[in-house]
Amino acid sequence: MDYKDYYKILGVSKSATEKEIKSAYRKLAQKYHPDRNPGNPKAEDKFKEINEAHEVLGDPQKRAKYDQLGSSYAQWERAGRPGGGFDFGQWTSGRSGGTRVEYRDLNDLFGGGGFSDFFTSLFGGGFGEPATRTSTRRMRGEDMEQPVEVSLEEAYHGTECTLTKGERRLTVKIPPGARTGTKVRVAGEGSLGQISGDLFLVVNVRPHARFRREGDDLHVDMPIELYTALLGGEVRVPTLIGDVVLTIPPETQSGRTFRLAGKGMPKLRQPNEHGDLYAHAVIRIPTQLTDAERKLITQLAALRGRK
């Protein structure tokens, strides 16, 4: 039985970092995944070999044990494979680099079944005995994230976005009330593995030209003509579902805030409930005054000055 060089299988050096090992595994797993190579038994075998290598090298403790066992296995081969099999008692018990190594049931350490004969002969059973369990450990691919940008109107009503993955097109719903940072899960569309990871769309809501968002509440500036502010009246206030009419009391000051209950954003996962809309009064000063208007304002100023 030939020694399996897991480092060579993943194409990394023995000094490779965890990040390098993970990166190499992901690239190879995507390349040889059965979904991308239907009816190709060589790709399937390669995929299993890659997963087996990552099973060992992807875990620091397992990797350290494999490095120790790998060295002993090489010594055993150089000695001509005495005894016809790998004897843990002879080659791994005692001192090795100052560390005592005593493996009693490596099946407990590595899990059994679904691996090569090399793996099971070393790690499947105690003292070189083959593994007796035949259950397959399924390697799960990593979750992935992808940004998606929507307008405030789309975040209000909910929308759909279309993703292209290979030759497939995926339509994903963005729920009403989504905000910047909201993650939408697409099950099974992440990194490939025996069990694929999930894809998470990370929502970014574009700034709006008129509305400002704070949580589920919206804020908007509400221009009011000077005469309406002085005498009172009605103004139209924009919302994301159309204008509403708001009554303005006389002598309204610039900066005064009016709360329109339930006119804000729908709440995520509770789309029938909404935040509020806060309209901030901005008094609009008239320009290009006529002589008559200027005369009246001068008279008003004189009257106000007498008080």
The number of helices, as runs of H, and strands, as runs of E, in the chain is: 10, 15
Nearest one of 140, 116, 144, 143 to 130, comparing CA atoms: 116
Say what the pTM is.
0.55
pLDDT at 74 over 80: no
Band of the pLDDT at 95, cuts 50, 70, 90?
Answer: very low
Domains recognised in the chain with CATH numbers: 6-128 (1.10.287.110), 144-205 (2.60.260.20), 221-305 (2.60.260.20)
Find where tokens 């709006």 sit. Answer: 208
DSSP for residue 46: H
- Ranking 40-49, 93-102, 128-137, 144-153 by mean pLDDT, the lowest is 93-102
- Per-residue pLDDT, 179: 94
Range among 61-75, 139-153, 267-281 rated most confident = 267-281
| Per-chain mean pLDDT for the chain | 79
- Residues 108-159: pLDDT tens digits? 333 334 567 666 655 554 333 433 343 344 566 678 888 999 999 999 999 9
- Read off the tokens for 218: 């919206």
pLDDT in tens, 194-218: 567 888 999 999 999 999 999 999 9
Q: Is 250 exposed, middle or buried (0-12, 13-18, 19+ CB in 10 A)?
A: exposed
Task: Tell me: pLDDT of 244 over 60.
Answer: yes
Any idea which of 85-94, 102-111, 235-244, 274-283 has the lowest mean pLDDT?
Answer: 102-111
Query: CB-based contacts of 84: which residues, under 8 Å, 6+ apart?
Result: none
* Distance, CA of 193 to CA of 191 (rounded, Å): 7
Residue 122 has a pLDDT of 58
